[in-house]
Amino acid sequence: MTAATTLTEASRRLASRGVDEPGLNAQWLLADAMGVERLRLLAEPDLPVPPAALEKFEKHLLLKEQGLPLAYITGWQDFRGIRLKVDARVLVPRPETEELAGFAADFLKTRPEPLSALDYGAGSGAIGLCLATEFPGLRLTALEKSPEALACARENALALDLAGRCEFIEADTLAASGPKFDLIAANPPYIPSSVIPGLSPEVLSEPYVALDGGGDGLDVARMLVRMAPARLKKGGALVMELGGSQPPCLLASMSAEVWAEKRTFKDLNGVQRFLYGRIHG
Ligand SMILES: C[S@@+](CC[C@H](N)C(=O)[O-])C[C@H]1O[C@@H](n2cnc3c(N)ncnc32)[C@H](O)[C@@H]1O
Protein backbone atom coordinates (compact mmCIF):
# COMPACT_ATOMS: atom_id res chain seq x y z
CA MET A 1 0.00 0.00 0.00
CA THR A 2 1.22 3.53 -0.78
CA ALA A 3 0.42 6.67 1.18
CA ALA A 4 -1.88 7.86 -1.61
CA THR A 5 -3.94 4.68 -1.89
CA THR A 6 -4.19 4.36 1.90
CA LEU A 7 -5.37 7.95 2.22
CA THR A 8 -7.94 7.68 -0.56
CA GLU A 9 -9.51 4.60 0.98
CA ALA A 10 -9.43 6.06 4.52
CA SER A 11 -10.96 9.40 3.48
CA ARG A 12 -13.78 7.53 1.77
CA ARG A 13 -14.43 5.51 4.93
CA LEU A 14 -14.43 8.56 7.19
CA ALA A 15 -16.68 10.50 4.82
CA SER A 16 -19.19 7.65 4.71
CA ARG A 17 -19.36 7.81 8.54
CA GLY A 18 -20.08 11.55 8.44
CA VAL A 19 -16.69 12.58 9.92
CA ASP A 20 -15.86 16.24 9.22
CA GLU A 21 -12.79 16.93 7.07
CA PRO A 22 -12.24 13.25 6.26
CA GLY A 23 -9.19 13.87 4.07
CA LEU A 24 -7.39 15.98 6.63
CA ASN A 25 -8.17 13.59 9.49
CA ALA A 26 -6.88 10.66 7.44
CA GLN A 27 -3.67 12.55 6.66
CA TRP A 28 -2.98 13.41 10.30
CA LEU A 29 -3.68 9.84 11.44
CA LEU A 30 -1.49 8.26 8.77
CA ALA A 31 1.34 10.73 9.37
CA ASP A 32 1.15 9.97 13.09
CA ALA A 33 1.11 6.19 12.50
CA MET A 34 4.11 6.41 10.13
CA GLY A 35 5.98 8.97 12.27
CA VAL A 36 6.39 11.39 9.34
CA GLU A 37 5.34 14.98 8.67
CA ARG A 38 1.81 15.20 7.25
CA LEU A 39 2.96 17.22 4.24
CA ARG A 40 5.44 14.49 3.30
CA LEU A 41 2.48 12.21 2.55
CA LEU A 42 1.28 14.72 -0.02
CA ALA A 43 4.72 15.41 -1.46
CA GLU A 44 5.55 11.70 -1.76
CA PRO A 45 2.29 9.92 -2.62
CA ASP A 46 4.15 6.69 -3.55
CA LEU A 47 5.70 6.40 -0.07
CA PRO A 48 5.14 2.78 1.04
CA VAL A 49 3.20 2.34 4.29
CA PRO A 50 5.01 -0.24 6.47
CA PRO A 51 2.78 -3.06 7.86
CA ALA A 52 3.21 -1.94 11.51
CA ALA A 53 2.15 1.62 10.62
CA LEU A 54 -0.80 0.28 8.66
CA GLU A 55 -1.93 -1.75 11.68
CA LYS A 56 -1.74 1.29 13.99
CA PHE A 57 -3.47 3.46 11.37
CA GLU A 58 -6.32 0.93 11.01
CA LYS A 59 -6.88 0.92 14.81
CA HIS A 60 -6.88 4.73 14.96
CA LEU A 61 -9.16 5.03 11.95
CA LEU A 62 -11.75 2.92 13.75
CA LEU A 63 -11.60 5.30 16.74
CA LYS A 64 -12.04 8.29 14.42
CA GLU A 65 -15.02 6.58 12.76
CA GLN A 66 -16.52 6.29 16.25
CA GLY A 67 -16.27 10.07 16.65
CA LEU A 68 -13.24 10.44 18.93
CA PRO A 69 -11.37 13.77 18.58
CA LEU A 70 -8.18 13.46 16.56
CA ALA A 71 -6.03 14.73 19.44
CA TYR A 72 -7.34 12.05 21.81
CA ILE A 73 -6.31 9.41 19.27
CA THR A 74 -2.83 10.74 18.54
CA GLY A 75 -2.38 11.93 22.15
CA TRP A 76 -1.11 15.40 21.29
CA GLN A 77 -2.15 18.82 20.03
CA ASP A 78 0.09 21.60 18.77
CA PHE A 79 -0.76 24.97 20.27
CA ARG A 80 0.99 28.20 19.33
CA GLY A 81 4.37 26.57 18.96
CA ILE A 82 4.22 24.07 21.82
CA ARG A 83 3.14 20.42 21.69
CA LEU A 84 0.72 19.42 24.43
CA LYS A 85 -0.17 16.00 25.66
CA VAL A 86 -3.95 15.77 25.37
CA ASP A 87 -6.36 13.04 26.42
CA ALA A 88 -9.91 12.56 27.66
CA ARG A 89 -9.12 14.42 30.91
CA VAL A 90 -9.02 17.76 29.08
CA LEU A 91 -10.67 19.82 26.37
CA VAL A 92 -8.80 19.70 23.08
CA PRO A 93 -7.27 23.20 22.73
CA ARG A 94 -8.90 25.09 19.84
CA PRO A 95 -7.42 27.46 17.24
CA GLU A 96 -9.54 30.36 18.61
CA THR A 97 -7.79 29.90 21.94
CA GLU A 98 -4.46 30.39 20.17
CA GLU A 99 -5.82 33.80 19.18
CA LEU A 100 -6.65 34.54 22.82
CA ALA A 101 -3.13 33.51 23.85
CA GLY A 102 -1.71 35.80 21.16
CA PHE A 103 -3.73 38.71 22.49
CA ALA A 104 -2.59 37.87 26.03
CA ALA A 105 1.04 37.80 24.87
CA ASP A 106 0.67 41.23 23.25
CA PHE A 107 -0.72 42.58 26.51
CA LEU A 108 2.11 41.07 28.58
CA LYS A 109 4.66 42.79 26.32
CA THR A 110 3.32 46.12 27.59
CA ARG A 111 3.91 45.20 31.25
CA PRO A 112 7.02 45.67 33.37
CA GLU A 113 8.77 42.57 34.68
CA PRO A 114 8.54 40.44 36.76
CA LEU A 115 5.45 39.10 35.03
CA SER A 116 2.82 36.83 36.51
CA ALA A 117 -0.26 35.28 34.95
CA LEU A 118 -3.19 33.16 36.04
CA ASP A 119 -4.58 30.60 33.60
CA TYR A 120 -8.07 30.09 35.03
CA GLY A 121 -9.59 26.73 34.01
CA ALA A 122 -6.24 25.64 32.65
CA GLY A 123 -7.25 22.26 31.19
CA SER A 124 -4.18 20.94 29.34
CA GLY A 125 -2.42 24.18 30.32
CA ALA A 126 -2.51 25.45 26.74
CA ILE A 127 -2.87 29.19 27.34
CA GLY A 128 -0.59 29.49 30.34
CA LEU A 129 2.15 27.15 29.17
CA CYS A 130 2.56 28.84 25.80
CA LEU A 131 2.80 32.20 27.61
CA ALA A 132 5.37 30.77 30.02
CA THR A 133 7.34 29.52 27.01
CA GLU A 134 7.19 32.92 25.30
CA PHE A 135 8.06 34.90 28.45
CA PRO A 136 11.02 33.24 30.18
CA GLY A 137 10.56 35.36 33.32
CA LEU A 138 6.81 34.72 33.67
CA ARG A 139 5.48 33.00 36.77
CA LEU A 140 2.36 31.02 35.95
CA THR A 141 -0.48 29.91 38.18
CA ALA A 142 -2.69 27.22 36.62
CA LEU A 143 -6.02 26.88 38.38
CA GLU A 144 -8.45 24.05 37.66
CA LYS A 145 -11.61 22.58 39.11
CA SER A 146 -10.94 19.11 37.68
CA PRO A 147 -8.10 17.27 39.45
CA GLU A 148 -7.66 15.07 36.36
CA ALA A 149 -7.23 18.09 34.09
CA LEU A 150 -4.87 19.71 36.60
CA ALA A 151 -2.72 16.56 36.52
CA CYS A 152 -2.57 16.84 32.73
CA ALA A 153 -1.50 20.51 32.93
CA ARG A 154 1.22 19.55 35.41
CA GLU A 155 2.46 16.75 33.12
CA ASN A 156 2.63 19.20 30.23
CA ALA A 157 4.54 21.72 32.35
CA LEU A 158 7.05 19.02 33.28
CA ALA A 159 7.41 17.87 29.67
CA LEU A 160 8.03 21.46 28.56
CA ASP A 161 10.50 22.04 31.38
CA LEU A 162 8.36 24.84 32.79
CA ALA A 163 7.25 23.28 36.08
CA GLY A 164 9.79 25.32 38.08
CA ARG A 165 7.90 28.51 37.20
CA CYS A 166 4.40 27.09 37.63
CA GLU A 167 2.02 26.71 40.52
CA PHE A 168 -0.97 24.39 40.25
CA ILE A 169 -4.12 25.07 42.23
CA GLU A 170 -7.24 22.93 42.44
CA ALA A 171 -10.22 25.26 42.99
CA ASP A 172 -13.58 26.10 41.50
CA THR A 173 -13.64 29.82 42.08
CA LEU A 174 -11.29 32.81 42.21
CA ALA A 175 -10.73 33.78 45.84
CA ALA A 176 -10.86 37.49 46.71
CA SER A 177 -7.47 37.42 48.40
CA GLY A 178 -4.15 35.99 47.25
CA PRO A 179 -1.30 36.98 44.95
CA LYS A 180 -2.06 39.52 42.23
CA PHE A 181 -1.39 38.95 38.55
CA ASP A 182 -0.52 41.08 35.52
CA LEU A 183 -2.92 38.97 33.53
CA ILE A 184 -5.80 36.61 34.15
CA ALA A 185 -6.59 34.55 31.05
CA ALA A 186 -9.50 32.17 30.82
CA ASN A 187 -11.36 30.02 28.39
CA PRO A 188 -14.09 29.04 30.85
CA PRO A 189 -16.82 26.51 30.15
CA TYR A 190 -19.40 28.63 28.33
CA ILE A 191 -21.99 26.37 26.73
CA PRO A 192 -25.51 26.76 28.14
CA SER A 193 -26.45 23.49 29.89
CA SER A 194 -29.56 22.98 27.74
CA VAL A 195 -27.50 23.12 24.51
CA ILE A 196 -25.05 20.39 25.54
CA PRO A 197 -27.16 17.30 24.68
CA GLY A 198 -27.38 18.48 21.04
CA LEU A 199 -23.61 18.78 20.53
CA SER A 200 -21.71 16.46 18.18
CA PRO A 201 -20.45 13.11 19.55
CA GLU A 202 -16.93 14.44 19.11
CA VAL A 203 -17.54 17.39 21.45
CA LEU A 204 -19.53 15.21 23.84
CA SER A 205 -16.49 12.99 24.30
CA GLU A 206 -14.74 15.95 25.95
CA PRO A 207 -15.15 16.47 29.73
CA TYR A 208 -18.60 17.78 30.68
CA VAL A 209 -17.01 20.13 33.22
CA ALA A 210 -15.07 21.77 30.39
CA LEU A 211 -18.27 22.53 28.48
CA ASP A 212 -21.07 23.31 30.93
CA GLY A 213 -21.32 27.02 31.70
CA GLY A 214 -24.70 26.79 33.50
CA GLY A 215 -28.11 28.21 32.50
CA ASP A 216 -26.94 30.87 30.03
CA GLY A 217 -23.38 29.57 29.80
CA LEU A 218 -21.91 32.49 31.72
CA ASP A 219 -21.68 31.21 35.32
CA VAL A 220 -17.88 31.01 35.48
CA ALA A 221 -17.34 34.02 33.19
CA ARG A 222 -19.56 36.25 35.34
CA MET A 223 -17.74 35.15 38.49
CA LEU A 224 -14.40 36.02 36.85
CA VAL A 225 -15.53 39.50 35.83
CA ARG A 226 -16.65 40.07 39.43
CA MET A 227 -13.60 38.62 41.18
CA ALA A 228 -10.72 39.42 38.80
CA PRO A 229 -10.20 43.09 39.80
CA ALA A 230 -9.22 42.06 43.34
CA ARG A 231 -6.58 39.72 41.93
CA LEU A 232 -5.06 41.97 39.27
CA LYS A 233 -2.04 44.22 39.76
CA LYS A 234 -2.61 47.89 38.92
CA GLY A 235 -3.25 48.17 35.18
CA GLY A 236 -3.58 44.38 34.91
CA ALA A 237 -6.03 42.73 32.52
CA LEU A 238 -8.59 39.97 32.25
CA VAL A 239 -8.89 38.29 28.85
CA MET A 240 -11.51 35.69 28.19
CA GLU A 241 -12.77 33.50 25.39
CA LEU A 242 -16.52 32.94 25.20
CA GLY A 243 -19.17 31.67 22.81
CA GLY A 244 -20.34 33.76 19.86
CA SER A 245 -22.37 36.80 20.99
CA GLN A 246 -21.70 36.19 24.72
CA PRO A 247 -18.92 38.77 25.33
CA PRO A 248 -21.14 41.87 24.90
CA CYS A 249 -23.49 40.49 27.60
CA LEU A 250 -20.72 40.94 30.18
CA LEU A 251 -19.60 44.46 29.21
CA ALA A 252 -22.53 46.11 30.99
CA SER A 253 -21.45 44.64 34.32
CA MET A 254 -17.93 46.12 34.02
CA SER A 255 -18.15 49.55 35.66
CA ALA A 256 -15.89 52.44 34.61
CA GLU A 257 -14.89 52.90 38.25
CA VAL A 258 -13.14 49.54 38.19
CA TRP A 259 -12.26 49.00 34.54
CA ALA A 260 -10.15 51.63 32.77
CA GLU A 261 -10.71 49.91 29.44
CA LYS A 262 -13.16 47.25 28.35
CA ARG A 263 -14.05 45.82 24.98
CA THR A 264 -14.97 42.76 23.05
CA PHE A 265 -13.20 41.59 19.92
CA LYS A 266 -13.77 39.11 17.12
CA ASP A 267 -11.96 35.91 16.21
CA LEU A 268 -10.60 35.28 12.71
CA ASN A 269 -13.98 33.92 11.64
CA GLY A 270 -15.59 37.24 12.53
CA VAL A 271 -17.31 35.84 15.64
CA GLN A 272 -17.57 38.18 18.65
CA ARG A 273 -15.67 35.78 20.91
CA PHE A 274 -13.28 37.60 23.23
CA LEU A 275 -13.62 39.94 26.19
CA TYR A 276 -10.83 42.24 27.40
CA GLY A 277 -10.85 44.41 30.49
CA ARG A 278 -7.99 46.36 32.07
CA ILE A 279 -8.29 47.82 35.54
CA HIS A 280 -7.03 51.28 36.46
CA GLY A 281 -3.27 51.69 36.86
C1 LIG B 1 -13.27 25.24 27.97
S2 LIG B 1 -12.14 24.38 28.99
C3 LIG B 1 -10.63 25.26 28.64
C4 LIG B 1 -9.39 24.46 28.89
C5 LIG B 1 -8.11 25.19 28.44
N6 LIG B 1 -7.94 26.43 29.14
C7 LIG B 1 -8.14 25.45 26.96
O8 LIG B 1 -8.36 26.61 26.56
O9 LIG B 1 -7.97 24.52 26.18
C10 LIG B 1 -12.61 24.97 30.60
C11 LIG B 1 -11.79 24.42 31.74
O12 LIG B 1 -12.26 25.03 32.95
C13 LIG B 1 -12.39 24.05 33.96
N14 LIG B 1 -13.45 24.51 34.88
C15 LIG B 1 -14.78 24.35 34.77
N16 LIG B 1 -15.43 24.98 35.77
C17 LIG B 1 -14.48 25.56 36.52
C18 LIG B 1 -14.51 26.37 37.70
N19 LIG B 1 -15.65 26.71 38.30
N20 LIG B 1 -13.34 26.77 38.22
C21 LIG B 1 -12.16 26.42 37.64
N22 LIG B 1 -12.06 25.67 36.52
C23 LIG B 1 -13.22 25.25 35.96
C24 LIG B 1 -12.70 22.76 33.23
O25 LIG B 1 -12.34 21.64 33.98
C26 LIG B 1 -11.89 22.91 31.94
O27 LIG B 1 -10.62 22.38 32.06
Backbone angles phi and psi of 249, in degrees to 5: -60, -25
Ligand 1 mean position, distance from CA 261 (Å) = 25
Residue 125: CB atoms within 10 Å: 32
Confidence of residue 203 (pLDDT cuts 50, 70, 90): very high
The reported pLDDT for the residue numbered 159 is 98
Per DSSP, what are the bridge partners of residue 167?
141
The reported pLDDT for the residue numbered 14 is 96
Residue whose Cα lies nearest atom 9 of ligand 1: it is: 93
Q: Decide if 182 contacts 115 (C-beta within 8 A).
A: yes
Mutation choice for ligand 1 from 220, 224, 242, CB with most ligand atoms inside 8 A = 220
Calpha distance 25→165 (Å, rounded)? 35
Residue 245 pLDDT more than 90? no
Mutation choice for ligand 1 from 90, 183, 239, CB with most ligand atoms inside 8 A = 90
The reported pLDDT for the residue numbered 78 is 96
Q: Decide if 278 contacts 261 (C-beta within 8 A).
A: yes
Confidence of residue 150 (pLDDT cuts 50, 70, 90): very high
Q: Decide if 152 contacts 71 (C-beta within 8 A).
A: no
The reported pLDDT for the residue numbered 68 is 95
Render pLDDT for 71-125 as a digit per residue (tens, 0 to 9). Answer: 999 999 999 999 999 999 999 999 999 999 999 999 999 999 999 999 999 999 9
Helix pair 95-108, 126-134: axis angle to 10 deg:
40
Residue whose Cα lies nearest atom 11 of ligand 1: it is: 121
Render pLDDT for 212-242 as a digit per residue (tens, 0 to 9). Answer: 999 999 999 999 999 999 999 999 999 999 9
Asked if the bond preceding 50 is cis, omega within 30° of 0, the reply is no
Backbone angles phi and psi of 45, in degrees to 5: -60, -25
